[in-house]
């Protein structure tokens, strides 16, 4: 491991003190941390049943997961490193208050409040929470956000249900409006560091394009940026933790606008766009669609916010539309699913699967180990599936939905580095085809594993209600795999992508799926450093020399 990767483990993930038997112990090596996680997951897999056919298989699973972690082939999201195994290995408890599935009564919809923090650890990094137009419900949301931040996770919500400042209150008077509450949420997030002292709170705020306060929301952060710049010009420090940025609002969340096909057609046609009152359904304002789009673009240019989420496209690829609409995402937008759900992530390191081979004429070439990649994806995916019911969650609804839908987020990192080592330009047809094939193999193989687990463990609870739309989306994925540019893609990668999706669809039709969602492409910030990745997630290298400041 590099010094940086080792420093990450020591500063962020080591448990400095604990108890094993009658001895006080602390973690002193990467081996200690990896054992804590891999052994805890293996024991949980035994406890829940149906994951391992024998003790020998369970032993092999633990050994292989340990190998992949310690050799930087992959990594779980930070909450797993922060929280998993602290109770099981060291007897650390912490305070209770989270909610978890009661596996002792598997036939009942039984969610229980946890007695301590770590017996049922919070292992998911990504949460999406619903928002109601009710004062007490909004403050309950602040409380559950704080609990998520405390254990190293992030959360996103769509705030479009909250009435605008143009609307009346039921008891008389006019609402203070959406933006006033967003400032309260912003300050609450700013007061909380995720996972102790080494992570900022991670928060996403989404808003539909037809909300009465959409223009104020679009321009919120760019206005605040101008205030901060004015303070910096007067001599205040320009650091994002400095007084200038601390003084202004909106600095503790990513913001995104939910854009529909209907709105985009209005932009193209130069048409009008109407905002809608949340309480009455009446038209609030009629705006010029193209002007609104221009405001959004200029705000994003000015301060990188808000982002855009294409609502209609997202919901066309939704595996569970009969259970509800996708309204929002997690802070980094890789996870999009139903409200009040959670997703645990892991990422595999693509460069670890490059194999240097020498041809008969003595030339050295790099090829990709497809079978090794598939196997690593499978091991991590099974581990993540086990974590679903071992884990706890901040609310009853999220605990129940996590059990009922079991969404997972297997992903990869280091794509840019891998392409550079292969001598392939990132911005090229070949680069895009390789990325598409590797993503298709990962996703198809994960759903194949999900269907195989469904044959043994049963489908996720919500599958029966969503069988037809989920199989439709699976076929969309298979069609996309076959549509990869064959002229630009290495033949073995194209063949593997198509094979995995053929099997994923075939087995899903036979057995259903254990998980409503299987893969995401996360930024892999901290865990990218942990794996000594030169590039994170799907991004290219943005500089040859980089500085990381915690």
Indicate whether 105 pLDDT > 80. Answer: no
pLDDT of residue 352: 98
Q: Are strands 392-393 and 99-101 parallel, antiparallel or unpaired?
A: antiparallel
* Sheet containing 392-393: order of strands: 111-113, 99-101, 392-393
Kindly tell me if the per-residue pLDDT of 96 is higher than 90.
no
Q: Taking the mean position of all CA atoms in its chain, how far away is CA 217?
A: 24
| pLDDT on residue 101 | 93
In angstroms, the Cα distances linking 175 to 162, 168, 172, 279, 420 are: 10, 6, 9, 11, 55
Check if 498 is active-site: no
Longest dimension (CA), the chain: 85
pLDDT confidence tier of residue 108, bands split at 50, 70 and 90: low
| Tens digits of residue pLDDT in 376-434 | 999 999 999 999 999 999 999 999 999 999 999 999 999 999 999 999 999 999 999 99
Among 123, 332, 489, 498, which one carries the catalytic annotation?
332
Q: Looking at the predicted structure, is the pLDDT value of residue 94 above 70?
A: yes
For 149-163, what is the mean pLDDT? 92
State the pLDDT at residue 22. 65
Per-residue pLDDT averaged across 295-303, rounded?
96
Q: What are the distances in angstroms from CA 106 to CA 350, 353, 383, 461? A: 38, 39, 20, 12
In the residue annotation, 89 being an active-site residue is answered as no
Which residues are bridge partners to 333 per DSSP?
none
The rounded mean pLDDT for the chain is 93
The single-letter DSSP state of residue 221 is H
517 in Cβ contact with 402 (< 8 Å): no
Q: What is the residue whose two structure tokens read 């009853």?
A: 396
What pTM does this model have?
0.94
The catalytic position among 119, 224, 334, 385 is 334
**Which regions of 293-419 does DSSP assign to beta strands (E)?**
307-310, 328-329, 336-337, 341-349, 354-358, 364-368, 392-393, 408-413
CB 344 within 8 A of CB 123: yes
**What is the sign of the dihedral through the CA atoms of 356, 358, 364 and 365?**
negative
DSSP code at position 458: -
Whether residue 503 contacts residue 444, with contact meaning beta carbons closer than 8 Å, is answered with yes
Statement: residue 51 has pLDDT above 80:
yes
CA distance 144 to 131: 12
Q: What is d(CA 300, CA 255) in angstroms, rounded to the nearest whole number?
A: 10
From first CA to last CA, the distance across the chain in angstroms is 19
Burial 464-495 (b: 16+ CB within 10 A, else e): eebbebbbebbeebbebbeebeeebbbeebbe
pLDDT digits (tens, 9 = 90+) for 69-78: 999 999 999 9
Please say whether the beta carbons of 333 and 538 come within 8 A. Answer: no
Structure tokens, 515:
């998980």
- How buried is residue 525: exposed, middle or buried, by Cβ count under 10 Å (0-12/13-18/19+)? middle
Task: Tell me the CA distances in angstroms from 526 to 198, 251, 454, one per residue in order.
Answer: 10, 20, 32
Q: Is pLDDT at 215 greater than 90 in this prediction?
A: yes
The beta strand positions in 59-103, using DSSP E, are 74-76, 99-101
Residues forming beta bridges with residue 344, ordered by sequence position: 408
> pLDDT class for 228, splitting at 50, 70, 90?
very high
Q: Model confidence over 236-285: pLDDT tens digits? A: 998 877 899 989 999 889 999 999 999 999 999 999 999 999 999 999 99
Categorize the per-residue pLDDT at 173 as very low, low, confident or very high, splitting at 50, 70 and 90. confident
* pLDDT of res. 357: 83
Question: What pLDDT is stored for residue 454 in this prediction?
Answer: 98
> Any residues with CB less than 8 A from the CB of 74 and at least 6 apart, and which?
68, 346, 347, 348, 349, 376, 380, 531
Q: Do 117 and 94 touch, CB atoms closer than 8 A? A: yes
Looking at residue 407, what is its pLDDT? 98
Q: What percent of the chain has pLDDT over 70?
A: 96
CA distance 524 to 519: 14
pLDDT at 18: 63
Per-residue pLDDT, 202 = 87
* Cα gap 205→329, rounded to integer Å: 9
Crossing angle of helices 214-233 and 289-303, rounded to 10°: 30
Tell me which DSSP letter residue 298 carries: H
What is the predicted pLDDT for the residue at 533?
A: 94
Q: How far from 416 is each of 317, 351, 534, 538, CA to CA, in Å?
A: 26, 9, 8, 7
Residue from 98, 158, 330, 466 carrying the catalytic annotation = 330
The whole-number average pLDDT for the span 132-142 is 93
Give the lowest-confidence range in 15-19, 287-291, 307-311, 444-448. 15-19
Confirm whether 57 is a catalytic residue: no
């Amino acid at each position: 491991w590099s010094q940086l990767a080792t420093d990450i483990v020591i500063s962020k993930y080591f448990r400095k003190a604990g108890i094993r038997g009658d001895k006080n112990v602390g973690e002193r090596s990467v081996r200690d941390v990896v054992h804590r996680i891999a052994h805890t997951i293996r024991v949980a897999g035994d406890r829940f049943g149906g994951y391992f056919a024998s003790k020998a298989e369970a032993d092999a699973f633990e050994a292989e997961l340990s190998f992949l972690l310690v050799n930087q082939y992959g990594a779980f999201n930070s909450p797993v490193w922060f929280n998993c195994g602290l109770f099981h290995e060291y007897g650390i408890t912490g305070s209770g208050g989270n909610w978890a599935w009661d596996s002792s009564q598997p036939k009942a919809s039984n969610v229980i409040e946890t007695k301590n923090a770590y017996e049922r650890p919070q292992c998911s990094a990504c949460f999406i929470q619903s928002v109601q137009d009710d004062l007490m419900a909004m403050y309950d949301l602040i409380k559950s956000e704080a609990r998520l931040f405390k254990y190293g996770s992030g959360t996103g919500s769509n705030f479009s249900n909250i009435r605008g400042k143009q609307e009346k209150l039921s008891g008389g008077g006019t609402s203070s409006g959406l933006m006033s509450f967003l400032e309260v949420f912003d300050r609450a997030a700013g007061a909380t560091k995720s996972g102790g002292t080494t992570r900022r709170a991670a928060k996403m705020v989404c808003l539909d394009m037809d909300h009465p306060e959409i223009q104020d929301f679009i321009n919120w952060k760019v206005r605040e940026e101008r205030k901060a710049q004015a303070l910096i010009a007067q001599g205040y420090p320009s650091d994002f933790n400095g007084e200038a940025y601390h003084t202004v609002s909106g600095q503790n969340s990513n913001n995104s606008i939910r854009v529909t096909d209907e709105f985009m057609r209005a932009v193209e046609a130069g048409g009008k766009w109407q905002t809608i009152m949340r309480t009455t359904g009446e038209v609030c304002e009629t705006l010029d669609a193209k002007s609104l789009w221009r405001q959004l673009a200029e705000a994003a240019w000015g301060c990188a916010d808000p982002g855009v989420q294409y609502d209609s496209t997202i919901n066309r690829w939704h595996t569970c539309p009969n259970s509800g609409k996708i309204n929002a995402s997690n802070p980094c937008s890789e996870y999009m699913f139903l409200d009040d759900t959670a997703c645990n992530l892991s990422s595999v390191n693509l460069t670890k699967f490059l194999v240097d081979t020498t041809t008969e004429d003595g030339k050295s070439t790099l090829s990709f180990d497809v079978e090794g990649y598939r196997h690593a994806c499978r091991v991590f995916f099974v581990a993540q599936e086990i974590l679903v019911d071992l884990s706890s969650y901040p609310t009853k609804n999220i605990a129940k939905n996590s059990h009922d839908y079991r969404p997972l987020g297997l992903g990869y990192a280091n794509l840019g580095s891998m392409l550079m080592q292969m001598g392939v330009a990132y911005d090229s047809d070949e680069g895009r085809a390789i990325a598409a094939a590797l993503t298709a193999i990962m996703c198809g193989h994960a759903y194949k594993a999900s269907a195989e687990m469904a044959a043994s463990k049963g489908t996720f609870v919500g599958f029966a209600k969503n069988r037809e739309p989920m199989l439709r989306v699976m076929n969309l994925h298979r069609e996309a795999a076959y549509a990869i540019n064959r002229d630009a893609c290495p033949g073995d990668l194209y063949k593997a992508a198509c094979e995995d999706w053929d099997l994923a669809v075939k087995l899903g039709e036979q057995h259903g799926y254990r998980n409503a969602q299987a893969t995401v492409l996360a930024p892999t910030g901290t865990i990218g450093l942990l794996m000594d990745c030169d590039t994170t997630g799907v991004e290219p290298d943005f500089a040859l020399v980089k500085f990381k400041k915690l």
